[in-house]
Amino acid sequence: MLLKDKTEFAGASFDNILKKESFVYKNRKSMNEMHEFYDETLASLNVDYVESYISTSFGRTHSLLVGDPGKPRICTIHGGNGITTLNLKLFLPLLNDFSIIAPDVVGMPGKSAPYRNISSSKDEYGLWIKEVLDHYKVDKISFAVSSYSSAMFLSFAKRYPRMVDKALLLVPSGIAHGPVMPMIGKMVIPFIKYYFHPTVKGLNGVIRSMGGKGDEVWRRFFTLMMSGYKMEMRPPREYKKEELKCINSPLLIIASDNDIFFPADRVFKKSRDIFDCPVCFVRIKSKHLPSEKVMIKVCNKTTEFFLK
């Protein structure tokens, strides 16, 4: 592992950061615990990586280049309220054929600037992704994105369509969402209850709705996220057909009927309406968070799609 650009928060003191209204942790202890979790889970992956801090218009961004740098590069971005190390855990089989650029989203769990400074409603994620990829001198690249980061990808693809080779969109946001009332009842309210009054029963309810019930690493992350991090509760924006006409790159869209957020039937139907580019659809049996067994199948299908 080669470490470079290790400069925390571009010289800003922690006290100054705390004064920002958009600071995303309850306190410094919560942030440190999340960073410790990041380091532990990254080490557990047992992969080579290069760590960088990148200056962007939206804040200092921590990013990893993972795997054999001689292999073709792809880019992955973790989902909303997610973390890079567990996203890499999901997509680990892709390292057999690719190296992976994996930035921590500003204002979400990870080591990027800990304040919310990128707006989905203003369509700013595409600008942030472009600045990250400029650091790596990328001209064209494929993406493996999921959940909230699918909307981030669409923000990028509509602005810079020539920079997209191919893309996997797994249980994707930005296209169509599920019925609102079940999401509120099974996810939003339990999240809020746990945030103010954490109980094992409350945590079990959230994990049961998301998936990942038997994975203790994900369970620990949910505990840290829900107890010490101020979650982004606003959904990403959904894109319209006229915004996406410029996208010509092939897309692989993988979704599940049991996903409470972005169910397959709604996602597939809307995708056929808004995309003019070639799209391949795959249905999986999973909740929003796929199991390791399902992810092996997803990664095999993605590798086949990217190397076609």
CA distance 94 to 38: 20
- What does the pLDDT look like over 229-287, one tens digit per residue? 998 888 899 999 999 999 999 999 999 999 989 999 999 999 999 999 999 999 999 98
Say yes or no to pLDDT of 186 above 80: no
Radius of gyration of the chain, Cα coordinates, nearest whole angstrom = 18
CATH of the domain at 286: 3.40.50.1820
Tokens of 21: 């209204």
Say yes or no to pLDDT of 8 above 90: no
- Across 189-193, average pLDDT: 76
Q: Among the residues of 24-118, which ranges form H helices?
A: 28-45, 84-90
For 118, the domain range is 2-307
- 21: confidence class by pLDDT, cuts 50, 70, 90: low
For residue 250, give the DSSP letter: -
- Across 199-218, average pLDDT: 76
Quote the strand ranges of the chain, DSSP E: 2-3, 49-54, 61-66, 73-77, 99-103, 141-147, 164-172, 251-256, 279-284
- What does the pLDDT look like over 62-117, one tens digit per residue? 999 999 999 999 999 999 999 999 999 999 999 999 999 999 999 999 999 999 99
Determine if the pTM surpasses 0.85: yes
- 212: confidence class by pLDDT, cuts 50, 70, 90: low
Number of independent structural domains in the chain: 1
CA distance 100 to 87: 11
